[in-house]
Structure 1
Amino acid sequence: MHRPTYALLAALLVAAPVMAQETPPPQVSHFTLENGLELVVIPDRRAPVVTHMVWYRAGAADDPAGQSGVAHFLEHLMFKGTEKYPAGALEGMVNELGGETNAFTNADVTVYFQTVPPDALPTMMDIEADRMRNLVLPPEVIDAERAVVLDERRQRVESQPQSILAEEMAATLFQNHPYRVPIIGWAHEIEALSREEALSFYDRYYAPNNALVIVTGDVDADAVRQMAEETYGKVERGPDLPPRDRAVEPPHDTSRTVTLQDARVSLPSFSRNWLVPSYRQAENREAEALDVLAAILSDGPQSRLYQELVVKTGIAAQVGASYSGGAYDDAGFSLYGTPRPGTSMEALETAVYAELNKIIETGITDAELERVKNRFIRSTIFARDEQANMAQTYGLWLTTDRSVEDVALWPDRIREVTVEDVQAVATKYLRPTIAVTGYLLPLAEEKTP
């Protein structure tokens, strides 16, 4: 099954947090059932379609030591069915309806979702409530599904030099935190994953008091709540889980370099990466300022990197910046680029960092700041057209200890970001002496220090 990357989901946090003030905000209802399950309902009656998502607050960063990939492995196994709904029943129902069902695992959550006609929603809720506690895993399915996961790893990681480097970069950027371990898992640990380990993870984390259900589309909030009471509400509450206190990163006080040379690489590229606060961690508008900084550098044809390095000097084939603020713990900020033929990697890397350094030394203009703010707010209007975007946005925020009210306030917090805020986060967090830089090079090309 296709699973969105974490980068894509993090991008949705920026692209679709909430509607702008120019349009009415969504009528969001937020309930908690007696067994601890959270329920969010966002009516949208423009089309007879509903999106139903179940978010478990458990992802790859919760994999026990030595069992990397078990959260993702369990995601696969969840489609093996229950006594009430055997393997293939869910997919068969949804396909017959012309809908969609899928799932994804990232570092912090595992999510299952369907997009179906509204009259199918009670059945979707019943299926998800049933497999929340009643998963059936015959021993014979384990080896076959483990082989599927290993093949997925070969296709998505080992056959793609960019993915190999990304794994090594994460393992270098995070020295202590479990974000350093691949979401899909290390191959040698996937090979050893057992039925008992998958069921142990399932028994620990798959319970209503560790789940968030989001329904958006052609629905009524009170009716959805009644459906939830009749399905999810009958599932017994699980043990209370301790706080998600993961290993903390030590101070980063060195620069580090990761280089991969591979015959499959045709164009060289680099990325420079830093640890920065996520939205959950940040204070004093720092997360919003980091979002704005990334946009000023690379959001659209008027951004600094595009104008200077693509339009004016023409030395970059690709260049950009990103901020992954949707993480539960530490986030990342990246600068990246691919030089055009005839330009050295060193020249492009120097030019990219020079644009950041200008912001550190002299700040940004009021005009730049207003342009980016307006782009952010406009993007929220367009995002409302996608039910899945809305559901994913609320899911990301609520599973990182934020609230429906926080989502509603996001546009105002972006509007409050100042020129000084942007310069301050660039100066505080993006020093080259503490960055991790990755180089992806053709086999014949040497990278000199």
Structure 2
Amino acid sequence: MSTLRIHTLDNGLTILLQESHTVPIATFWVWYRVGSRNEMPGTTGISHWVEHMLFKGTPTHPKGTLTRYIDRLGGRWNAFTWKDYTAYHEVLPPELLDVAIRLEADRMAHTIMDPSEVDSERTVIISEREGSENHPSYLLREEVDAIAHKVHPYRIPVIGWKDDLRVITRDDLFHHYRTFYHPQNAIAVAIGAFEADAMLEAITRAFGEVPPGPPVPPMRVREPEQEGERRVVLQRPGGATSYLHIAYHVPAATHPDLAALLVTDGLLSGFKGILPFDQAGGGRSSRLYRALVDTRLATDVSSSMTPSADPTLFRVAATVRVGGEVGMVEERILTEVDRLTREPVGADELAKVKKQAKAQLIFSRDGVFRLAMGLGAFAVVDEPAAFESLVSRIERVTVDDVVRVAATYLTERTRTVGTYLPVLGATVSASQAAVRPEVFFMQTPRAGRVRP
């Protein structure tokens, strides 16, 4: 595979290009540095809603023609919104990738936001919101995010609060679109079986005349240091299963401790994907699995940490076995976390996690789509080179590094504990519609949301 090439157009668009001639396929992405991180109370969920609107067409490509066009060419396209970014992507035969490039340049500048389409999409998005409210683990994660973050917009769910979704206007959406959808705030990524110079020329031809756009509002909010454990208990009618969600404050993706924290995550529940919607992995031989699932205290347990633009959360989540005690599950999790702060991990166990990490990260580069996804995400939260160097950085993590980061970040002082307790014998009523889950959203042109 060839070396990554990075270019910046005069209008500020960053372009990442990499040739890959293993198979005759190519992918094109446009990443925008906007997500729920860039939202305010009153218009929460607006980034995800704008993502939906970009599938409603432009004067050149009216609604419906975009999907039929891509389908006819044998391609696929999609989009997703997260806290730090919104991304749009296509996969096509390399000789047809110019079609995707021109479509993305067109909707960057000329998306139509018809008031009737806005009203129709409001119903769709509120329905997504309400569907997610049926999942206690989402509800609990959302509550923990809101308690762990006092001021930082990472406390805002990607889907937004329902009351905000009811009142957001077409003008609100269009203003958000004009504020964040322009070359200065975007990264284009193309990977596949093409000639890089020709691809750069095609991207420049399509995007070069798009105005650079206004300066993006700076992120001025800094989360105050947490100075003591916080707790939230969520109770809701229906079901018989309890859930536990524990979160610790950790640094942003640019911090030198990222690799050691990812290894720590791997020691607790197995190394897994590093993107919020691609975290398959884990293992039955991991510490948490052995301590909780093998002992029949929980039916499921996992830890996770998503590299983020700002300081974020290191999480441990568990599903308590029916009839089990939440307190016992919490005690066992905290015991395993505390072990990492005091007891050096064995050389064999550390080597196993590093091997898992290498396999996962190499897999993330196996194929043009996953490689473009990893490069684009890291280009937003850090820089492309940070994704390329992650394997070597993880390989350099030592036993002392694990003890140090665990003792520094996984502390009672910075901990938030959330518990979901079902109200036994009760039924869910219409009045529960305002409860709030956390979800990750992807938009498919024809089918709406796809869950990871």
TM-score by length of 2: 0.87
Cα 1:200–1:151 shift into 2, 3 Å: same
CA deviation vs aligned residue, 1:387-423 (integer Å, no higher than 9, x gap): 2211110011111232x33333222211111111111
Q: Which residue number corresponds to residue 404 of structure 2?
A: 424
1:330 aligns with one of 285, 300, 311: 311
After TM superposition, list the pairs within 5 Å mapping 1:38-437 onto structure 2: 38-156=14-132, 158-241=133-216, 244-280=218-254, 282-283=255-256, 286-299=257-270, 300-311=283-294, 313-324=295-306, 326-341=307-322, 343-402=324-383, 404-437=384-417
Cα 1:382–1:108 shift into 2, 3 Å: closer
Identity rate, percent: 33
What SS does the aligned partner of 1:334 have?
strand
Distance in 2 (alpha carbons) for counterparts of 1:154 and 1:183: 14
Distance in 2 (alpha carbons) for counterparts of 1:161 and 1:317: 15
Distance in 1 (alpha carbons) for counterparts of 2:32 and 2:105: 12
Distance in 1 (alpha carbons) for counterparts of 2:75 and 2:237: 41
What SS does the aligned partner of 2:222 have?
coil
Cα 1:342–1:188 shift into 2, 3 Å: closer
Distance in 1 (alpha carbons) for counterparts of 2:329 and 2:138: 22
What SS does the aligned partner of 2:84 have?
coil
Distance in 2 (alpha carbons) for counterparts of 1:288 and 1:127: 37
Aligned-pair distance for 1:108?
1.3
Amino acid at match of 1:80: K
Distance in 2 (alpha carbons) for counterparts of 1:96 and 1:330: 43
Distance in 1 (alpha carbons) for counterparts of 2:334 and 2:40: 38
Cα 1:132–1:29 shift into 2, 3 Å: same
CA deviation vs aligned residue, 1:248-267 (integer Å, no higher than 9, x gap): 11111122222223334332
Q: Show structure 1 runs of 5+ residues with no match.
A: 1-24
Cα 1:370–1:437 shift into 2, 3 Å: same
Q: Does the Cα contact within 8 Å between 2:59 and 2:112 map onto a contact in 1?
A: yes
Q: Does the Cα contact within 8 Å between 2:14 and 2:187 map onto a contact in 1?
A: yes
Number of equivalences? 414
Aligned-pair distance for 1:26?
4.8
Q: Does the Cα contact within 8 Å between 2:5 and 2:17 map onto a contact in 1?
A: yes
RMSD over equivalenced CA pairs, Å:
1.9
Q: Does the Cα contact within 8 Å between 2:23 and 2:193 map onto a contact in 1?
A: yes
What SS does the aligned partner of 1:191 have?
helix
Distance in 1 (alpha carbons) for counterparts of 2:40 and 2:136: 27
Q: Which residue number corresponds to residue 9 of structure 1?
A: none
Aligned-pair distance for 1:380?
2.4
Aligned-pair distance for 1:342?
5.4
Aligned-pair distance for 1:136?
1.9
Aligned-pair distance for 1:445?
9.2
What SS does the aligned partner of 1:374 have?
helix
Amino acid at match of 1:253: E
Q: Does the Cα contact within 8 Å between 1:265 and 1:440 map onto a contact in 2?
A: no
CA deviation vs aligned residue, 1:42-88 (integer Å, no higher than 9, x gap): 22222222111110111111124421111111111111111111111
Q: Does the Cα contact within 8 Å between 2:5 and 2:18 map onto a contact in 1?
A: yes
Distance in 2 (alpha carbons) for counterparts of 1:165 and 1:339: 13
Aligned-pair distance for 1:162?
2.2
Amino acid at match of 1:205: F
Distance in 2 (alpha carbons) for counterparts of 1:259 and 1:95: 47
Cα 1:339–1:191 shift into 2, 3 Å: closer
Aligned-pair distance for 1:272?
0.9
Q: Does the Cα contact within 8 Å between 1:177 and 1:246 map onto a contact in 2?
A: no
Cα 1:141–1:121 shift into 2, 3 Å: same
Aligned-pair distance for 1:340?
3.4
Aligned-pair distance for 1:224?
0.8
What SS does the aligned partner of 2:214 have?
coil
What SS does the aligned partner of 1:307 have?
helix
Q: Show structure 2 runs of 5+ residues with no match.
A: 271-282, 427-452
Cα 1:65–1:348 shift into 2, 3 Å: closer
Aligned-pair distance for 1:125?
0.8
Aligned-pair distance for 1:27?
2.5
What SS does the aligned partner of 2:381 have?
coil
Distance in 2 (alpha carbons) for counterparts of 1:186 and 1:65: 9
TM-score by length of 1: 0.88
Aligned-pair distance for 1:204?
1.2
Q: Does the Cα contact within 8 Å between 2:242 and 2:322 map onto a contact in 1?
A: no
Aligned-pair distance for 1:212?
0.5
